Amino acid sequence: MTKEEDILNFLSVNVFEPILNSKSASRALKAGVRTTIYRLKQRDARGMVDYFWSAIKGTERSIKFAERMEKEGFIRFEEVLPKFRKKFGDAWLRSKA
């Protein structure tokens, strides 16, 4: 598994799939998740990690998206932060795949 696949798998299991597989998630939320996945796939592992941190830090768009996720009862990036930070830190990024 590549580093990019590892990151996508982690986020899919912990954040994306519960939304995409939900019958109660709004179309807008599902569309946002699909857009996020698309944007992540355009990056290398470091870019994916940077994208994650940018979402945590909060742009106007990411803040509204996180609010929608919370309002609809889903896990947000902020809630997987401890596991993400431990798994995908600088040492991991510098290591060979």
Token reading at 17: 């799939």
What number of other Cβ atoms are within 10 A of residue 78's Cβ? 14
| Type of residue found at 47 | G
| pLDDT at residue 97 in the model | 63
Block means of pLDDT (10 residues each) for the chain, 97 residues, are: 97 98 97 96 97 89 92 95 95 87
Q: How far is CA 59 from each of CA 51, 55, 87, 93, rounded to the nearest angstrom?
A: 11, 7, 24, 24
- pTM of this prediction exceeds 0.85: yes
What residues does each domain of the chain span? 3-94
Residues in the chain: 97
Contact 34, 1 (CB under 8 A): no
